[in-house]
Chain A
Amino acid sequence: MRFTRREFIRHLAAAATYASLPVGLMDCSKGSSAFPEAVSLDPKLKWDKAPCRFCGTGCGVMVGVKDGKVVAVAGDQLNPVNKGLLCIKGYSLPGILYGEDRLTRPLIRSNGALKEATWDEALNLVAARFKETVEKHGPEAVAMYGSGQWAISDGYAALKWFKAGIGSNNVEANARLCMASAVTGFITTFGADEPMGCYDDFEKADAFVLWGNNMAEMHPVLFSRILERKRTASWVRIIDLATRRTPTTEWADMHLSMAPQSDLALANAIARFIINTRRYDRDFVSRHVVFRRGKENIGYGLEDKFSFRDQPRPMSFDEYAQYVQRYTLEYAEKVSGIPAGRIKQLAEIYADKFTKVVSLWCMGMNQHNRGTWINNLVYNLHLLTGKICKPGNNPLSLTGQPSACGTVREVGTLAHRLPADMVVTNPEHRKKAAEIWGVPVERINPKPGYNTVEMFRALDRGDIKAIWIQTTNPMVSMPNLNRYRTGAEKQDRFVVVSEVYPTPTTEVADVVLPSAMWVEREGFFGNTERRTQHWFKMVEPPGEARPDVWQTIQVARRMGYADLFPYGDETYERELFEEYRRFTLGTGHDLGTYEQYVAARGLRWPVVNGRETPYRYTARFDPYVSEGKDIEFYAKKDTGGRAVIWARPYEPPPEVPDDEYPFWLTTGRVLEHWHTGSMTRRIPHLHRAVPEAYVEIHPDDAAELGIQDGETVRVRSRRGSVELKVVLNGKGKPRRGSVFVPFFDENKLINEVTLDSYCPISKEPDYKKCAVKIEKRMAS
């Protein structure tokens, strides 16, 4: 067939016009057959936006729904977070809904076995047991343990039920295990939680310093943005400061292999270098910074009922400069094992006025027995050099979970918190909360509740008798797990678990409630860069599964708190959001309206006059900065709007390798699995990609021990042991003298080996450091 030129152009015109038809504007909600077979790939396939269910990056996905089932996802090109890109977990999202063993009916344990029950039976039982426990043992004998994977409404309803209803502050979330040090780091340095910078920095920085952060696997979409920056700007450098070689190392311009805990010494040595070479930003420091020194030698939270209160003392710049003098490059070399010359190269990157630096970290700095300190110390470097609050120049604390920020940190589902950065210990804050909730202020308990580790210790001791666990799997994720599992299994403890699949946590439950997840319900998540994203319910949950928020409201009503939950059955998501939003207005944490989030691909708070704020504390972007100031840390009220540079020392971890237990143990995640694997292990290809946990050992250590690749060994600590297959040259390679084990595998519980020490300020456990030995299996 031959076209004339004219026919050819006509075809082009027709095709272009055809493709341009604004079919998306047609009303799809009627399930209309407006798309005949000829024009759509599949007329029954409908698409809508949602944030990814997995990590704190907050990628946008388009969810394809057909015949009431999710059948596909596609990266959302309109979402500025991921610009269409996803990782393999994101692409696998549809499968997490359809595992064959989804929980679809409430279950009640009787005679040791879980038996199906009706919602009424289950809800009445939970309400009765909680009520009875509060009456007999007081409000502090009940607890709610939630999650950074809670949607905002889940967390808000739980918080309101406990703090405005029961009068207990025992609301915690697994984000305590993941982000608490980031929170206390932000609060102590800047007076308010969450970053000043945002993802826009990835396209603007000249150097990315990763502090113990395997971004290529843990935040792969963001790492791809960094790689794209590096590809298009040849001078860009990636510095990988780590205790283990990882896939991230492959793209690093500099890999600094550091001993565990030595980050404290390194950050101080860099600060000293900046000061001694007189390359700190004098103007910035004199106008925006004060200096403080806190308590030292502060313990490790290993004993029950551990408590700690910091006592900051002011110091001058000269005193601070004096304080860091002991952290010479040589001292840092001795502690970290990194040659002084290499540390100096890293210090140069921070010191050089013309290099825009973004520091990134996640669990390496947060799951740290001095987590608050190391967060403070990295902020110090940015504050000393004035490399902060400027596009391309910022520290950025990455979050692990999809709504650790949006729900746990912003709503405040922690033992001492109220919404929008308020705390229960502050009478003004209690007053404001009581007003919004319409309860007498005395109802809000001024005494903080149990933090997560203490909460499970209290359950073990019997100080907590009833606990409700939602959207998390502590019987895999708690450190020193043996103790806490024994506690949960004790006779008179009442454990309720809201879950989507059977897990080791449902195994210890007295009542299991089937949950609706992700697009089986409406919800909001808030990601790392303060971006709040909304999604609609797109499919029906299986069987009788219901959202966690619905379950909480039902039980609260049955306990007599119906007046606190007057929401409509169809509209509670929106009503809860709008009520919660009232806490945020005028505080610098302002959220936008429900309608704005329905329309937008997320907005970064504060949202003021309908506009989001990419960079905080800087007049160019942030409407909260006072007139006439360029930069103002306005949330830090006690210092007159100045950030704090903290003098924090190096202190060793509580357990270090010795002759008997000669290796460091570090735990962590893998790209293919999400946390404890209860969702991703049910995806065939993800399970097959990484079917079980393993132990990575340095080949030289293995040779010394006479251990072969693939051999099964036992990793033992003073608390427990687990058998694992050895991987010598896998994706990751730990430095000599340390081993790495991922924690996703419920059949090989590395957390029976880990230590439950925590940062005294943030109460976040350190999963990255304890001492173990490697035992060869006896020939049998």
Chain B
Amino acid sequence: MRTAIFLSTVGLLLVACDQRPESEYYGKYRRAELRYYAYAPPLIPHPVLNRECLDCHERGLVVQGFKAPVTPHPELANCEQCHVRADERIPLFRANRFVGVSEPTAAVRPQPEGPPLIPHRVFMREKCLVCHADPSRREVTQTTHPERLNCLQCHVEQRVQAALFQP
């Protein structure tokens, strides 16, 4: 117990000096590192200096040469409902053994020359191009034909189990 109190005090000291230069945060994290599991929303990898998230994340403001990832759902205004800032330097309260499902690594093509299916859920990610036509999203497949715009015309959602996504 005493150790826990001590550790959380150390944690707070760290938070208090969460004032590293922005280049310490931006673009430093792999996609999967920011997600609890494949379907979970990404954590916020930088200190929240103001709570106007969309100032940077609606259009993709460039800060110190790093482009802020654009949100695929700017219409959902209460960002902190799902995205929280969690400084990984704060010691845990108690250890946890959870291991989540990992992101799909490759998309399936029903036919060798056909368009690939979408290997993730489309819900809340309907604006495909904010991820798939953005070179700053290093780990995301980039489309060869962003000019087509209507992605869902050819690419359809691959479903694990119909009941999850459709009546």
Q: Which A residues are within 8 Å of any B CB, using their own CB? A: 1, 3, 7, 11-12, 14-16, 18-19, 21-25, 28, 35, 38-42, 45-47, 62, 64, 66, 69, 71-78, 84-88, 91-92, 94-95, 97-101, 216, 220-221, 223-224, 227-228, 231, 247, 250-251, 501, 671-672, 677, 681-689, 691-692, 710, 725, 731, 747
Contacts and interface: CB of A to CB of B under 8 A. Distances in A.
A64 B99 CA distance: 12
Nearest 3 pairs of A and B residues by beta carbon: A24-B162, A688-B86, A685-B86
Given A1-B113, A24-B162, A100 B76 contact: no
Contact of B37 (A16, A94, A101, A224): A94
Interface string B108-138: 1011011101011101100000000000000
A41 B82 contact: no
Nearest to B161: A24
Contact of B85 (A38, A46, A250, A689): A689
Contacts of B123: 75, 77, 84
Interface string B70-82: 0000011110111
Given A66-B101, A684-B96, A15 B156 contact: yes
A687 B93 contact: yes
B162 A42 contact: no
B69 to A, nearest CB: 18
B30 interface: no
B75 A231 contact: yes
Contacts of B56: none
Contacts of A15: 110, 114-115, 117, 154-156
Contacts of B88: 688
Nearest to A507: B1
Contacts of A692: 8, 11-12
Interface of B: 1, 4-5, 8, 11-12, 15-16, 36-41, 43, 51, 75-78, 80-88, 90, 92-101, 104, 108, 110-111, 113-115, 117, 119-121, 123-124, 153-165, 167
Nearest to B4: A747
A69 B37 CA distance: 13
Nearest to A37: B108
B95 A100 contact: yes
B93 A682 contact: yes
Interface centre among B15, B121, B163 (most CB of A within 10 A): B163
A158 B13 CA distance: 46
A73 B160 contact: no
Given A688-B88, A689-B86, 14 more contacts: A7-B113, A11-B111, A12-B154, A15-B154, A23-B160, A88-B82, A91-B36, A97-B98, A99-B95, A224-B81, A677-B93, A682-B93, A691-B8, A692-B8
26 contacts: A14-B111, A15-B117, A15-B155, A23-B160, A24-B159, A25-B162, A39-B108, A40-B158, A42-B101, A64-B101, A87-B82, A88-B83, A91-B41, A91-B82, A94-B36, A100-B96, A101-B94, A224-B81, A227-B78, A231-B75, A501-B94, A682-B96, A683-B96, A686-B84, A688-B90, A747-B8
A25 B163 CA distance: 8
B126 to A, nearest CB: 12
Contact of A223 (B36, B75, B78, B90): B78
Contacts of A86: 82
B99 A216 contact: no
Given A11-B111, A62-B164, A72 B101 contact: yes
A92 B93 CA distance: 15
B93 A47 contact: no
A672 B83 CA distance: 10
A216 B81 contact: yes
Contacts of A97: 98
A239 B110 CA distance: 52
Contacts of B164: 24, 47, 62, 74, 76
A11 B78 contact: no
A712 to B, nearest CB: 9
A94 B35 CA distance: 13
Given A19-B117, A95-B36, A100 B94 contact: yes
Nearest to B111: A14
B159 A19 contact: yes
Contacts of B154: 11-12, 15
A72 B111 contact: no
A672 B84 contact: yes
Contact of B92 (A88, A223, A684): A684
A47 B163 CA distance: 8
Contacts of B111: 11, 14
A247 B164 CA distance: 32
A41 B94 contact: no
Interface centre among A15, A46, A71, A76 (most CB of B within 10 A): A15
A91 B40 contact: yes
Contacts of B43: 685
A91 B84 CA distance: 12
Contacts of A69: 99
A456 B80 CA distance: 37
B160 A45 contact: yes
Contact of B94 (A39, A227, A681, A731): A681
A46 B40 contact: no
A87 B81 CA distance: 5
Nearest to B34: A685
Nearest to A745: B8
Contacts of B159: 19, 23-24
Contacts of A684: 86, 92, 96
Contacts of B113: 1, 3, 7, 11
B98 A94 contact: yes
B100 A74 contact: no
A337 B14 CA distance: 40
A16 B80 contact: no
A691 B11 contact: yes
B110 A18 contact: yes
A765 B85 CA distance: 33
Given A19-B156, A23-B159, A72-B101, A686 B117 contact: no
Contacts of B15: 691
Contacts of B1: 747
Given A24-B164, A747-B8, A45 B101 contact: yes
A636 B58 CA distance: 52
A114 to B, nearest CB: 14
Contacts of A71: 37, 99-101
